Structure 1
């Protein structure tokens, strides 16, 4: 097979392949960029594999960076664009289920491709668009099948994170998971406990933000990978309910908010879960705002003032995220979503900084620095938000004096 028209990303990198070939070496585009080009998906990083050893690559190109030279990777700079050029290699045993104990450079493309994770990622492309397919990756690509290269048990023992990549690709590409590959994941799901949670976290969020996240999550649960990650053990029944939802998530706070509401977590448990997943502090704060606002909005006896204050306290981003998640979970209707949004949009105050007075104004009018200053500002914000006072400096200072 041959691509008659190469994407601009490949065209820009063609001179690198040409220089390697002119020096007597083999060179190919490899990995996800080739797969995505065949699927007519957006192309991101363009990776190059070559029979040239790292020292030989460095001799050919003037501007290089030793990105991962011990593993055969040299970054070549061309017109201020960085391209990773990696030597064909084989790998030894993997004692930590993530990194090989030893990497051996080879001159064989086949030896290099057979160590890759899935057949659709084991495709190579020449500079002219000709596809090199040694493991029936084109067939699997055409059939929408995700299959491990060679023995799936061996692939997952080499790198257990590949199990997470499998469900992530399933969610992103809407592919089926080949039976033996799926069975191997189910039998080796505990290997995930050998992997740093930061790496699992990255794959999991990509899965949940993909267009077919429900499919990927279903496999994640079915293969029991959910039993091997923080906070999800014993929750399969609750988690399974999410796979029936229709709709998409757009950011990480929505992802964790969805799980916090589904598992009915309180503030302490929510923070504990996200810390166990090594989430950023900003994500933890945003998720807690979402969880709290969702709880407030679903309180049946909440009055108008409490509703306005809850929306103000959450802030614009959390309001948007909360309404999106509650709509996805069918806990509010489209009409209710629009109504809550309108109430927020019509608040006389949507930011603490928008209050017409500040701490300096209060100190000028007799309020001493300290806790009372903060409490006074908060009382004024509340009075403005719920409509008891106008957001007018004179009116607010008059209230303080009284």
Structure 2
């Protein structure tokens, strides 16, 4: 097969390929970017290059390089304002930690390199003229929408247990089916997932939930028992399947994913924060989702006040509305944004008075009372109980002081 049109992301990197070939080595585009170029319906992100040149040979060809993963054969080549990872063909040893090889051996053979890839649809190579190299029938699997491990599935998952999560993530993202032997191997080897860092599982799980067919990915995630090796999910199989049964509206925010999980697991704010910390989430995500649990309950009860809109902020409101809509109680984005835009202020710094004004013109002394009065004025303005003008706020501050 030959691509009739080579995406711009590849054409920009063709000088890298040509320079390596002119030096007497082979070089190809490889990995998920090749898959996405063939599918033609996904934006291409990282363009990776594989070569028969060893790292030192790659560095000798180019003026600007960075040793990003030199021990594993990867050199980053800088071309104008772009950075391209160029990795030497390699074979890998045993994987005692089920994630990284004990050591790698550089080789000159593309065939040997592609044998170590995870799935056939990712084991494709692309020449700079658009010719596809397909050693494992990946093009047929792409045509039929199949995710199939390269070679023996159990061996691929023993090499890198995260590949099991990648399989169900691709099932959701690409809307593909899992090849039966690959799925059976995941069910057999699911316990290996416990060997993988939670942060890496977190990334794959969120991508699964944000995919176009999260129902299929979630069902496999549960049916193969992968969920059993994830924090806080041991007894959550039925809850996760309920999410799979929801309408197929796509989620677009990570915090929406975790808010939906918290809702279906029946978690309050404290329990939600605990779960997210188990998943090694950022403090920002922990706090946002924890606060949004309460806000979602108000959405579902159709009891949203101006203060709720103000305190949440627009992005959190849109996130909560995503989940509420899935649950049958959301608003249109236009309605929500209109309500938010109509607030008198959107930040406390928009208040027409500040602490200095209250001290100098309202007789409020510095201290906790000053903060309390400012907070009260802020709330009254948001709730349309006071106009946001200096005279009204100073008069109200004097009344509160008295």
Please tell me the TM-score bracket, short chain as reference.
over 0.9
Unmatched runs of 5 consecutive residues or more in structure 1: none
The two structures have a TM-score, normalised by structure 1, of: 0.93
1:360–1:126 Cα change, 3 Å: same
- 2:398 alignment partner in structure 1: 401
Q: Which residue number in structure 2 is paired with residue 361 of structure 1?
A: 357
2:183–2:224: 8 Å Cα contact kept in structure 1?
A: yes
Q: Measure, in 2, the Cα distance between the counterparts of 1:162 and 1:265.
A: 30
CA separation of 1:2 and 1:65: change in aligned 2, threshold 3 A: same
Tell whether the 8 Å contact from 2:169 to 2:207 is kept in structure 1 after alignment. Answer: yes
SS at 1:49 equivalent: strand
Q: Secondary structure at the match of 2:12?
A: helix
Cα shift at 1:355? 1.9
For residues 56 and 384 of structure 1, what CA distance do their matches in structure 2 show?
A: 67
Partner of 1:167: 168
**What residue is the counterpart of 2:327 in the other structure?**
329
Equivalent residue in structure 1 for 2:383, among 380, 386, 400: 386
The residue that corresponds to 1:9 in the other structure is: 9
Counterpart residue number, 2:22: 22
Give the aligned partner of residue 59 of structure 2. 58
Following the alignment from structure 1 to structure 2, what is the Cα–Cα distance between the partners of residues 283 and 165? Answer: 23
Q: How does 1:3-402 map to 2 (within 5 A)?
A: 3-40=3-40, 41-246=42-247, 247-299=249-301, 307-330=305-328, 332=329, 334=331, 342-364=338-360, 365-402=362-399
What does the per-residue CA deviation read over 1:119-173, in whole Å, with 9 as the maximum and x for residues that have no partner?
0000111121111111111110111000000111111111011111111111111
- Match of 1:188, SS state, is helix
Deviations along 1:349-389, one digit per CA (max 9) or x if unpaired, are 33222222222222222323333222212211222222322
Gaps of 5+ in 2: none
| Contact in 1 for aligned 2:323/2:330 (Cα 8 Å) | no
Compute the displacement of 1:275 (Å): 1.3
C-alpha deviation, 1:338, in angstroms: 6.5
Once residues 210 and 57 of structure 2 are traced to their aligned partners in structure 1, the CA distance between those partners, rounded to angstroms, is 41
After superposing the two structures, state which structure 1 stretch, 272-281 or 148-157, moved more: 272-281
Would you say the 8 A contact 1:2–1:130 is kept in 2? yes
The Cα RMSD (Å) is 1.8
Relative to structure 1, the CA distance from residue 100 to residue 360 in structure 2 (aligned partners, 3 Å threshold; closer, same or farther) is same
Determine the C-alpha separation between the residues in 2 that align with 1:185 and 1:340.
Answer: 43
Q: TM-score, normalised by structure 2?
A: 0.93
CA distance in 2, matches of 1:396, 1:238: 49
How far 1:299 sits from its partner (Å)? 4.2
Q: Which shifted more, 146-155 or 321-330? A: 321-330
Distance 1:343 1:81, change over 3 A: closer
